[in-house]
Amino acid sequence: MKWLIQLLLLLLFLVSCEPQGPTADIIIHNAEIHTLRPEGQTYSAIAIKGDRILGLGTEESILKFVDAGTNMIDARGNFLMPGLIEGHGHFLGFGRSLMELDLLEVGSWAETIALVSDEVAKAEPGRWITGRGWHQDKWTDVTPVDGSPYPDHLDLSVISPDNPVILIHASGHSLIANERAMKEAGITRDTPDPDGGTIRRDEEGNPIGVFEETAMYPIREAFWSQGGRGTEEEERARIREAALIAQEEAFRHGITSFQDAGLSMQEIGVLRTMANDGELDIRLWIMLLENYESMRVSVKQLPIVGEADNRFTVAALKAFNDGALGSYGALLIEPYSDKPEESGQLVTPEEELRSIAALARDHQLQYCVHAIGDLANKMMLDIYEETFEDKDQLREARWRIEHAQHLRPEDINRFAEFGIIAAMQTIHCASDAAFVVTRLGEKRAEEGAYMWRSLIDAGVLVTNGTDVPVERINPFTGLYAAVSRKLPGQEMAFYPEQSMTREEALRSYTINNAIAAFEEDLKGSLEEGKLADLILLDRNLLTCEKSDIPNTKVLMTMVGGKIVYED
């Protein structure tokens, strides 16, 4: 009996010398790890198994996860943090924008014409030429037509008589078309302004080629039916191409999850197939955007949650309340300071906004409404409040207001009271600063524009993103804008007292976006059991010179334990 017990003890001893728990596929060590967890502990090593984080620790404590098959990655002292989450962008729009003429940095109308002219020279007659990103306030040379700050289509029509041209405004809320494009869309001087849109005209009533908000639809439809769409097969191929380009650019910038602010069921279908076929590594969280009648049918297929190993979710409905500030589309309580006869556009009838709210509530979907102006924000807070009798249910629904850009001071607390998420884009503040005071006057700009400090202090969840392709996708200029209220290299800050701290800025790009999508158990911070979505950067975003933040380089991007980008 005695020797048997001794043998058992010996066996137990031998077994206990074997590794105890699971072993890691990958260990990244020698890193400065910022977990984004509330306790803020720092680590130097992280162990990964499959698509999950196995553990975090010191160089010594992580050794227990090592076996012969573990891939050891030396981070060389670089900064490691959770993968960034683009909180409001247009995934396919971004991909498509990389396939068309880029006008974001063009400083004059003359230069715009020259760029289009180059495209015309290359294009077959009849082919549509599309560009995106112009902004009249960035141009040095435009001669206003009939008081409006826009150019006339004539310059475009002269250089491109046979090719329809459409150039989308940086905000996405207006476009310039040449004569050929207007002809294809059936626009004449007799075409009336549609509800929620304006056809800009000269003194004689002739369209000058600028179409705002819903007035853009006939032109876009002509484009889609002739140039854009093609056969169903061609359209699917185009969506696929746009998605792959967008994904690659996202990874280059450290974006591991992307919240898309509005796709149709057709686009969702193509992306869903790609995700399930393993063609997409990026994690998509998508808002459905259709008119109310189509949505009523489409919601029967929703929600889609965490398909393709947590890569594909559609669990929110998107709608637009108003337009953008730059193109005088933002819906304001008082008129524009630089255009006293206008106070913006309601682009969806209030009744429809209410009906979609009820649809979202009844199908347990999030509701995400674009609201820029102070009246748009007030109206949406009213509608959200009226949709739920039980205010706890409203809080639990995590409904969002996209942009939440200009607010009445008294509405800030209403966001907090109802748990409404302010889905903001800090980069918009920096790049719009030049015209915000002109449009709104100083009082409204100071008390109500891009109020993220006041919102955070009131207890509101503020998320961050770029609205790409409205802005470039680079999250580091967005993080810099969050902490400085400036563009890189700019002297003047836009009401800097509204800045975030660096920690808050990082949260706005990670864990806050995860919470705003009900995904905080999966991502947004580095902890055991969460997805191994992380990035390695060439500088510590908490300690580097503030002015150096925009120059940050991504050294590695990892999604679910797989390296998807390496510098």
Task: Give me the residues that bind Zn ion (CB under 5 A), please.
Answer: 261, 467
Q: Is 340 exposed, middle or buried (0-12, 13-18, 19+ CB in 10 A)?
A: exposed
Cβ 24 to Zn ion, closest distance in Å?
A: 39
What is d(CA 123, CA 428) in angstroms, rounded to the nearest whole number? 34
| H/E stretch holding 383 | helix 374-387
Instruction: Read off the DSSP letter of residue 209.
Output: E
Cβ 53 to Zn ion, closest distance in Å?
A: 31
Measured CA distances, 337 to 57, 147, 213, 437, 444 (Å): 56, 15, 20, 8, 10
Edge-first strand order for the sheet with 165-169 is: 101-102, 129-134, 165-169, 174-177, 207-213, 197-201
Measured CA distances, 378 to 220, 329, 393 (Å): 30, 16, 20
Residue number with CB closer to Zn ion (103 or 261): 261
Cβ 460 to Zn ion, closest distance in Å?
A: 20
The C-alpha angle with vertex 343 and arms to 337 and 347, in degrees rounded to 5, equals 145
Residue number with CB closer to Zn ion (116 or 268): 268
Residue number with CB closer to Zn ion (34 or 370): 370
Residue number with CB closer to Zn ion (32 or 467): 467
Cβ 320 to Zn ion, closest distance in Å?
A: 9
Residues 175, 164: contact at Cβ < 8 Å? no
Residue number with CB closer to Zn ion (151 or 344): 344
Cβ 370 to Zn ion, closest distance in Å?
A: 6
Cβ 259 to Zn ion, closest distance in Å?
A: 10
Residue number with CB closer to Zn ion (75 or 482): 482
Cβ 210 to Zn ion, closest distance in Å?
A: 20
Cis peptide before 218 (omega within 30 of 0): no
DSSP one-letter string for 399-425 = -EEEE--B--GGGHHHHHHHT-EEE--
Measured CA distances, 334 to 343, 344, 432, 444 (Å): 7, 10, 20, 10
Cβ 104 to Zn ion, closest distance in Å?
A: 15
Partners of 403 in beta bridges: 371
Cβ 88 to Zn ion, closest distance in Å?
A: 6
- Beta-sheet strands, E only, within 97-248: 101-102, 129-134, 165-169, 174-177, 197-201, 207-213
Cβ 430 to Zn ion, closest distance in Å?
A: 17
Residue number with CB closer to Zn ion (88 or 502): 88
Measured CA distances, 532 to 154, 278, 539 (Å): 54, 17, 20
Q: How far apart are the first and last CA of the chain?
A: 64
| H/E stretch holding 472 | none
Residue number with CB closer to Zn ion (171 or 484): 171
Residue number with CB closer to Zn ion (263 or 332): 263
Residue number with CB closer to Zn ion (27 or 242): 242
| H/E stretch holding 309 | helix 307-310
3-state secondary structure 37-60: CCCCCEECEEEEECCEEEEEECCC
